[in-house]
């Protein structure tokens, strides 16, 4: 079983011979005590192209000290990392499955191998008040052997780590000031592994483009990168079956596709269209599982809201069995695709996009004009679909038309979010109102899907000799809810078309 610990620390380096300063008086009521010396031996794992190191991720197998074991460290903000720990007994020299699943989005079918061995002599100092330990100060002497660069001689250096235990940011800042005054400076690298690789002249092949600030290309790339990072962050959560992960990963794919459409004058459509097609495929695979989650949650809620006398027969048991079969099949398929060549190729293509975006000539221009055109284009598409839907009589055709309106509203919302760095509050207003339409018509579409499922469940119940009364009752309630949405939609649409909503664009 893996344990996850949030680690907040800062690393320091200094010229040779500089010792630890006197910390007395750094913080009132706080003292620094000698905690002893330990020897640590850690082997770090990565892919041949250093895919983990390139993202600030470290994976090691360490012996010695009080936390011997496998450690996976993932960036979690400034000075912070999430450390996932697994005992040494979990596996031999092979990466434990509990950790491998969390990095597969980066290793992509390549088995991590040892790249560096670090042997550390650690002189530990404990920062304490009257209660528990507030922080640990470790003066480390590190010797590195770099397997990834055969023939490279071992290197040795000294560094200091200050890690919070029960203390806060003010304590960390106070210790920082004392260390700087004593000749120490913040380390140029984020980890011992990064230091060792840099000493050996090794660098990750990952590239990130940096277009001119405030240009159309900078706005487009920043938004696209945010969605790519979100997609990859959700990958291990989906594999671990964590709540809402499928939904969030699917949203990231949709926002990214929307960004390609919004910035179609800034990013070459030839390349982004191919990426968009693959993202649509991924969203579709995730959608089977996500739609089932939403549908069953809705039906369970509706059943629970019924009075006891209206629930006839094994209704909940039938729903549970039906859901278990469909969810298991959908999840098995999603996991298979996430370990497939097509998905890994998509991830590689997204890496290439970030490293070398397919900018057009407009990418160098100020962002305002192309962003305004993109937002207006999405707005016009929504208007066309809404006007069409409003003139279709109730029935299946209107259901389909309203679903198209919902998708167009979602695009306006994403376009507003993507162009907010350019337009600020006006873009935020449009996105917010588009989201209201999206949510309203999402309720309608959920009702459409629920009625289809309820009909199938009623037929199966009847065939098994069970009462279909409850399923029929729920079907009728869903029809009524859909009708209420259709009644409210015209006024919601009228509110969205108010001229002052687009003021200041």
For the chain, 505 residues long, give each residue's pLDDT as a single digit of tens.
Answer: 678 999 999 999 988 878 899 998 888 889 999 989 999 999 999 999 999 999 999 999 999 988 899 999 999 988 999 999 999 876 678 899 999 999 999 999 999 999 999 999 999 999 998 888 999 999 999 999 999 999 899 999 999 999 999 999 999 999 999 999 999 999 999 899 999 999 999 987 678 888 888 888 999 999 999 999 999 999 999 999 999 999 999 999 999 998 998 888 899 999 999 999 999 999 999 999 999 999 999 999 999 999 999 999 999 999 999 999 999 999 999 999 999 999 999 999 999 999 999 999 989 988 888 888 888 989 999 999 999 999 999 999 999 999 999 999 999 999 999 889 889 999 999 999 999 999 999 999 999 999 999 999 999 999 999 999 999 999 999 999 999 999 999 999 999 999 888 877 7
Q: What is the CA radius of gyration of the chain?
A: 28
CATH code for the part of the protein at 3-199: 2.40.320.10
Cβ partners under 8 Å of residue 237, min gap 6: 245, 248, 249
> Tens of pLDDT along 191-227?
999 999 999 999 876 788 888 888 889 999 999 999 9
For residues 165-180, one letter each, b for 16 or more C-beta atoms within 10 angstroms of the residue's C-beta and e for the rest, the string is eebeeebbebbbebbe
Sequence spans of domains, the chain = 3-199, 216-502
Helix axes 425-463, 269-305, angle to 10 degrees: 60
Beta partners for 164? Answer: 135
CATH code for the part of the protein at 216-502: 1.40.20.10
Structure tokens at 501: 């909503």
The single-letter DSSP state of residue 185 is E
Tokens 């949203």 belong to residue: 251
pLDDT of residue 205: 63
> Tens of pLDDT along 125-149?
999 988 889 999 999 999 999 999 9
Of 445, 503, 505, the C-alpha closest to 478 is: 445
Start-to-end Cα distance in the chain: 53
Structure tokens at 286: 């995730």
Structure tokens at 117: 């061995």
For CA atoms 96, 97, 101, 102, give the dihedral sign.
negative
């Amino acid at each position: 079983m893996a344990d996850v610990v949030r680690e907040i620390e800062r690393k320091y380096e200094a010229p040779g011979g500089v010792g630890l300063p006197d910390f007395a008086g750094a913080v009132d009521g706080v003292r620094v005590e000698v905690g002893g010396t330990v020897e640590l031996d850690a082997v770090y794992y990565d892919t041949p192209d250093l895919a983990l190191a390139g993202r600030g991720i470290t994976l090691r197998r360490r012996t010695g000290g009080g936390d011997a074991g496998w450690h996976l460290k993932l960036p979690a903000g400034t000075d912070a990392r999430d450390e996932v720990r697994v005992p040494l007994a979990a596996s031999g020299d092979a990466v434990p499955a509990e950790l491998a699943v969390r990095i597969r989005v980066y290793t992509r079918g390549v088995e991590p191998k040892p790249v560096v061995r670090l042997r550390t002599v650690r002189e530990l100092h404990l920062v304490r008040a009257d209660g528990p330990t507030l922080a640990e100060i470790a003066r480390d002497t590190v010797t590195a052997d770099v397997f990834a660069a055969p023939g490279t001689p071992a290197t040795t250096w000294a560094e200091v780590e200050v890690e919070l235990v029960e203390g806060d940011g003010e304590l960390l800042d106070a210790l920082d000031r004392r260390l700087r005054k004593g000749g120490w400076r913040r380390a140029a690298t984020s980890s011992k592994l990064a230091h060792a690789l840099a000493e050996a002249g090794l660098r990750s092949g990952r590239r990130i483009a940096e277009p001119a600030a405030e240009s159309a290309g900078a706005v487009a790339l920043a938004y696209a990168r945010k969605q790519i990072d979100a997609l990859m962050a959700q990958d291990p959560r989906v594999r671990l079956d964590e709540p809402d992960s499928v939904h969030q990963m699917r949203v990231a794919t949709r926002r990214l596709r929307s960004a390609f459409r919004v910035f179609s004058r800034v990013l070459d459509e030839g390349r982004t269209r191919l990426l968009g097609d693959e993202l649509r495929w991924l969203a579709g695979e995730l959608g089977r599982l996500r739609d089932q989650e939403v549908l069953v949650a809705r039906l369970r809620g509706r059943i629970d809201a019924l009075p006891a006398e209206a629930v006839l027969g094994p209704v909940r048991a039938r729903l549970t069995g039906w859901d278990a079969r469909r969810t298991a099949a959908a999840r098995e398929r999603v996991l298979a695709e996430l370990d497939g060549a097509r998905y890994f190729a998509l991830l590689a293509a997204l890496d290439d996009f970030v490293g070398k975006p397919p900018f057009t000539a407009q990418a160098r221009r100020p962002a305002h004009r192309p962003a305004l055109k993109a937002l207006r284009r999405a707005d016009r598409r929504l208007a066309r679909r809404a006007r069409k839907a409003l003139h279709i009589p109730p029935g299946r055709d209107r259901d389909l038309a309203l679903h198209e309106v919902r998708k167009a509203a979602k695009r306006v919302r994403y376009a507003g979010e993507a162009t907010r760095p350019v337009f600020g509050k006006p873009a935020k207003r449009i996105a917010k109102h588009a989201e209201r339409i999206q949510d309203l018509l999402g309720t309608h579409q959920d009702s459409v899907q629920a009625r289809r499922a309820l009909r199938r469940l009623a037929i199966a119940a009847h065939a098994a000799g069970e009462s279909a009364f409850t399923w029929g009752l729920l079907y009728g309630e869903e029809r009524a809810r859909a009708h209420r949405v259709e009644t409210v939609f015209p006024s919601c649409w009228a509110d969205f078309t108010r001229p002052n909503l687009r003021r200041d664009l």
